[in-house]
A and B are shown apart, each in its own frame.
Chain A
Amino acid sequence: MEKPRLAVFKFASCDGCQLSLLDAEDQLLSVADALEIVYFPEATSRMEAGPYDIALIEGSISTPHDAARIQQVRRDSRFLMTIGACATSGGIQALRNGADSAEFMRAVYASPGYIEVLDQSTPIADHVTVDFELRGCPINQYQLIEVIQSLLAGRTPRTPGHSVCLDCKRRGTVCITVAQGIACLGPVTQSGCNALCPSYNRGCYGCFGPASQSNLVSLTSQMEQDGASKQEISNSLQNFNNNAPAFREESRRLLDRNGEPY
């Protein structure tokens, strides 16, 4: 049987998620054994044309060129999976959504006329049908390997939608909010990192985006009671997943800017 053909594409992103695949040192050779990596500019100069069995998409759509390119990638790919916060929710660069991007360009670039950019940074799923979304900033390499394994085995991947709290409890991390009063987005954030930050005494930053049916209003009300300002709480939600609907709506609600830019 021929090996499935894997392609990795980059859109507006920092490359960190692709690097997670290269970082999966223990498993990378097995991946290369099980699949044929035919397009992965970050790793190899071999760049074959489609069709592809599995396409991993990193990054958001932020230029007209990318908006057209993703359509071609979709046509070329049987199973299309987005990897990381940029591809699944628009990334940190989605902070510009609704703001005056022409003004940003004038402020940053000497000759902004050469830059062709869309007003919004949007997730891949806004443009094409996505078969699977893998969250995280960056993604967890074990989850990526798990999804590839599940595709090869024809089973459902284990990428749960529950909160970070469950992972803290499984690994024996004492709740830093309850025991130390540290603000933490863990109760409303999807797991995926094995609750990394709380195990280092840092509140969860929400890198994997909102958990299923997350109750943002209750958590932010508690944070306010504990002394955080609305602005501080809103800022904590305007991170890598600022454009994920649950985080976006709550950060806007806190600042009473319904649908308005920040």
Chain B
Amino acid sequence: MNDSVQSVDPETCFLTLDEFARLFEVLISRGYEVIGPTIDQEAIVYGQLSSIDDLPRGWTDQQEPGKYRLVRRDDNALFGYVVGPSSWKKQLFPPVSTLARADRTEEGWQFQEAKEETPRYAFLGVRACELAAMKIQDRVFTGGPYVDSIYEQRRSQALVIAVNCTQAASTCFCTSMETGPRCKAGFDLALTELPDGFLVEVATAAGAEILSDLQTMKVSPEQDTQANAARQQAVDQIERRFDTTDIKDLLMSNLEHPRWDDVAERCLSCTNCTMVCPTCFCSSVEEVSDLTGDHVERQRQWDSCFNLDFSYMNGGLVRNSIRNRYRQWLTHKLATWIDQFGTSGCVGCGRCITWCPVGIDLTQEVNAIRESES
């Protein structure tokens, strides 16, 4: 999916539940691996789907700082949840990748790039905040002179089917970050779930082609009203407000604020927030050899600024305390990211709040600093 080919005025149609069920076979027959929401390990995660039955029909999630629970809904909604522990980062920027190989031969070392067959994903159920996160990672991985080929290839082959949120969690703050809840750009198709089917916005030729294999109907005025109401419900449920006014200056002029000591007493430096964050992109690269030393692989894996060793530079550790590491993460995410990539690194999905084992809430940390200023 590429922003530039998206039409300005997306066409809209209606897909009955039965036709939506056929979407899976259409995608699979076209060679896509469908990745979307499914229940696993007491959570709604993104995994491989083979049919509509794999979706979390009739389930929702309840979230608060440090707590996530699956709860039964009183209807059969398929996308009646918010966001879970997974993000699409796992597919586009895999947790572990082999980048290169080297073999010792009689003629010396032979180096080769590790070529992977690029998986062809169809992402089903991408939320507005996640579309924003993908756009941010596009900039990080492909926007500069050094393009990450693994990310670029996976991303360019992926079909993006977004689904508008119709509800919000207590941890959501996309409206403050101006990333949602309405899906506006960055998708091939965008769905809004109604009790008997889906309103479908068609944004790209790739999306239209998928839809051409399915029977669609014209959207009735009632359906349009229903869809608007469903989407508005998500907006109305968002209670969390996060004031981002002059946030870069606020944080960068408070680098010695006592709040950093306060949060350091609570922060476990366990890396959970960075791992669940859909924009955090840090990795480390290591050489892995076998016992003979004749075969070496260069591996890249997810890493985190919360790891002590991650700040090791020639001669020592740059961030040798939890205080320094939390401050590094928050100021990068919300302030210096703007200098580096032109946007905030936060999309307001609330994952770092929910999945912190001790429930640290970044919006509260910033608010505490802001309140002490005024």
Contact = CB atoms under 8 A, between A and B. Distances in A.
Interface in B71-105: 84-86, 90, 95-96
Contacts of A27: 291
Interface string A166-193: 1001111111111111001011100000
Given A158-B286, A213-B321, A149 B268 contact: no
Interface string B261-294: 0000111111110011000000000111111110
A220 to B, nearest CB: 10
A212 B307 CA distance: 8
A218 B358 contact: yes
Interface in A84-123: none
B271 A152 contact: no
Given A161-B309, A176-B41, A215-B266, 9 more contacts: A162-B271, A162-B304, A166-B270, A171-B95, A172-B86, A175-B355, A179-B41, A181-B67, A187-B357
Interface of B: 40-43, 45, 66-70, 84-86, 90, 95-96, 265-272, 275-276, 286-293, 301-304, 307-309, 321-322, 354-359
B66 A178 contact: yes
B267 to A, nearest CB: 7
A231 interface: no
Contacts of B355: 175, 178
A31 B291 CA distance: 7
B364 to A, nearest CB: 16
Interface of A: 27, 30-31, 33-34, 145, 148-150, 152-153, 155, 158, 160-163, 165-166, 169-181, 184, 186-188, 201, 211-215, 217-219, 221-222
Contacts of A188: 268, 270
Contacts of B67: 178, 181
A176 B68 CA distance: 10
24 contacts: A34-B291, A153-B289, A158-B288, A163-B269, A165-B271, A165-B275, A166-B304, A166-B307, A169-B272, A169-B275, A169-B302, A170-B96, A172-B86, A174-B43, A181-B67, A184-B357, A186-B270, A188-B268, A201-B41, A212-B308, A215-B267, A218-B268, A219-B357, A221-B358
Contacts of B290: 30, 149
Contact of B268 (A34, A163, A171, A180): A163
Contacts of B69: 179
Given A34-B292, A170-B301, A174-B42, A165 B272 contact: yes
A161 B308 contact: yes
Given A161-B308, A169-B275, A215 B293 contact: no
